[in-house]
Amino acid sequence: MCPAQLSANQDRGFIIPIGGGEDRIKERQIHRRFVELSGGAAADIVVIPTASELESTGQDYNRIFRDLGAAGVDYLPITKRADCDNPRYLEMLERATGIFLTGGNQLRLSTILGGTGIAQKIRKRNAAGATVAGTSAGASIMSEHMIAGGESNSIPAEGVVSLAPGLGLTNAVIIDQHFTQRNRLGRLLAASSYNPFLIGLGIDEDTAAFIGPNGMFEVVGSGTVTVVDASGLSYSSMWEASRGQALSLLGLKVDVMSEGCRYDLVGRHAYPPDPSDAFCALPNRSVEGGSKH
């Protein structure tokens, strides 16, 4: 699944995967920047708390975004696939300038939203310029290939990660969350080895990657984003490994990036937090990359 097609002279909206556990009380830096990108005082934000089974989740995020000055905030109480046919929910998404997917269980989120009009509307709104953010499970589902589950505290081995289709807002990356806190490097390396075209993003708690329409992302928050680039692999044993067998992955490139660092998903290059760096001059580019699989 490639990202939805762009209209003429239209920039795609930001996508913002968040590693979970973000600050919701003090500075709320990530939420604040999401509101700003969604239009600030004119923002119309729709929260989708489907991944969570807590009834209070939608209301909690509504309060946060209202406190940060968004003009309109509402949430969609989608708990089953039939809810995705509600024309009122589709209308709310049609006018949304910002869409926020909460944390919870990414398989709950994908099995309820996948293939529905709601999923299609999210993709189309992002292609039309709306900002889409997601935390934890809401971050994982953003990519075409979603990490559905797997083992933490593991070496890279065959079978330590399971994949499922995601929303396809980007097909350039595969995303893991709660990354350092749950020691998920092994499963991200395994996921990246399935198709070295994909760039692995391991996002820590209270940390986000603000991915712009030009294929650049900036790290925001108190943790790090670990970038795994497997495109230069000289050898991988994944194709011949038996279940549970440790993998050999030679030629990987790994960047660990804290706040202010930026990364070019097209050129596959990291930049330090210096506004005078060359990335500022990079042209606006799409990162659909459908033909690069």
Indicate which residues carry an active-site annotation: 136, 178, 205
Angle formed by the axes of helices 117-127 and 87-95, nearest 10°? 10
C-alpha distance from residue 246 to each of 184, 203, 228 (Å): 15, 24, 18
Residues 6+ apart with CB under 8 A from 62: 47, 73, 74, 75
| Spatial contact of 93 and 85, defined as CB atoms under 8 Å apart | no
